[in-house]
Amino acid sequence: MYLKANSPHAVAAGKSVIGFNIVNGKEVEGDLSLIQSKSAVDSRDLVGMFPDSGEKDVARAAKAAADAFKSWSGLPASERGAVVQRTAGILTEHQEQLARIVTREIGMIPQEALNEVQEAIDACAFFAAELRHLPSQTLPSRVAASRRPVGVCGILATGSSPLSAPGRKLLPAILCGNTVVWKPSDNAPTAAYLLLRALMEAGLPPGVVNTVNGRGRAGCGKHFLAGIDKGHFQAFSFVGSTALGRTVGELCGRNLILPNLDLVGKGAMVVMPDADLDRAVQDALRAAFSHAGQRPIGLANILLHEACAARFRQALMDRIASLSIGNPMTDPDVAYGPMINARSATAFREQWELGRTGGATLLAGGEQWAEANRTSQVKGDIAHGAYMQPCVWDGVTPDMGLFQHQGLGPTVNLTTFKDLDEALTWTNGSPCGFAVSIYTQDHRSLEQFKRESRADMIGINRTADDPEARLPFAGLGTHSGSRLALDGFTHWQAVRDDDAEARPAVGRGAGTTVGFIKTDWASL
């Protein structure tokens, strides 16, 4: 890792990180050119520069992981867990520096960035503890069955949650004895690079986790996915859009690999007449607009009972009118900052057109903030980032594209329903239904909702999108973020051994060493 002075316009933001692919414990350049990770907050701020990797880079990383598998999988589980526990300590010690990188790189406000790092720390502690419960069975007649690591795991994860999302895949994979090839998002390569350096600083042996940086589908991402057909991976994990998740699922299916998919998207909120409207409005604001609506699971559709729709709508609009938006580096108390990049901003503009042409009524938003239209709501310098107005659509019906669309951005739709049966039908039939919450005090309504909702995550008088390390996350295959995640990186092996008593016990290995790499955290 190298650090260099930033551009004269962004000196206050911090230095630029010159990073590398990490293959077999070594920092290596890629076969192609470099990619630049510019700040979402201020495009003049160069956060990092990383290799743009090609087909040969992916193959080299896969070979390094395969070579490291035998020794890593042979270590006692306690030693693998110790590496992850030490990583949690390093992340805790440098939480503020890493959170600042997250704010610079993807535009999270400082508190959200600190939470993002904390989620990675929590995941380290949770999975290291859960490793003790990995199931095994001892059967009569000297027959035993146990969970065994599968081999090399490919990991591809979204940049909107650059530490916690890949952490939910990476940590259980290596704890179970697998090795990994990870392609970090080109939206957040610096945060990913520092996470891996923390693991290596904690004693992770060379080759256990390898990274190949680069662009998405048109670049390294294409070669990375092709590695499934080429036999590079024995397991594959993906965090991202449903559309790309289908492609990953198809590739894994024809190679008889169980895919582990966390399909990000938007959720829904159902508000009944007896709900605590103040709490529902407050939760809706956070779920819909935090991180500029780019969280892996946010809020797209608010379904309002016709008896309380007008009151909720007015309260929501009053709160939005005083919502502060702007530069999170200079004004850390804003509600949200910029979109991650220009590509995301373009996709959000396309969603505006979807609403305008689909018959919905625009109550707020529909433009990008600029110097010409900024109000007292806007804080700090916004000239070099994509800062979007909070957008609210009313009169949205389940047949409209807005209701069905999973696009990311600071926007929310208001829909009116007559009874809970109707609301359940609509949420169960929408792609925006991974995480669904209900706000009501009626016990029968709560029980019906829990019984009939098909959502992966349900919130009762709270949003369903708050991630916790011990709870399953929305997805397909084995659910990450829970004990079941360990199952996704292991397979059952049954052994019948009639000579077990005749053999001497095998001693423990030499163990792992700590700290063959050090990161200059203080200079970031």
Classify 412 in phi/psi space as left (phi over 0), alpha (psi -120 to 50) or beta.
Answer: beta
User: Where are the CATH 3.40.309.10 domain residues in the chain?
Assistant: 265-460
* pLDDT tens digits along 223-263: 999 999 999 999 999 988 888 989 999 999 999 998 888 88
- Give Cα separations from 55 to 58, 62, 239, 297 (angstroms): 5, 11, 22, 32
* pLDDT tens digits along 397-440: 999 989 988 778 999 999 999 999 999 999 998 876 678 999 99
Closest CA to 299 of 273, 324, 323, 265: 265
Q: Look at residue 157 and tell me whether its pLDDT is greater than 50.
A: yes
Lowest mean pLDDT among 1-15, 123-137, 168-182, 183-197: 123-137
d(CA 189, CA 282): 33
- Give Cα separations from 96 to 11, 39, 112, 117, 128 (angstroms): 18, 17, 12, 9, 23
Q: Which residues pair with 364 in a beta bridge?
A: 392
DSSP state of 479: P
d(CA 39, CA 384): 9
Burial of 332 from C-beta contacts in 10 A (0-12 / 13-18 / 19+): middle
User: Where are the CATH 3.40.605.10 domain residues in the chain?
Assistant: 2-263
Taking domain 265-460, whether its CATH number is 1.20.1260.10 is answered by no
Name the token pair of 104: 């610079």
Taking domain 2-263, whether its CATH number is 3.40.605.10 is answered by yes
**CA-angle at 496, arms to 490 and 501, nearest 5°:** 115
Closest CA to 155 of 53, 56, 235: 235
Q: Look at residue 174 and tell me whether its pLDDT is greater than 80.
A: yes
% of the chain residues with pLDDT over 70: 90
Name the token pair of 61: 């990383």
Report the predicted TM-score, pTM, of the whole model to 2 decimal places: 0.91
pLDDT band at residue 489, thresholds of 50, 70 and 90?
confident
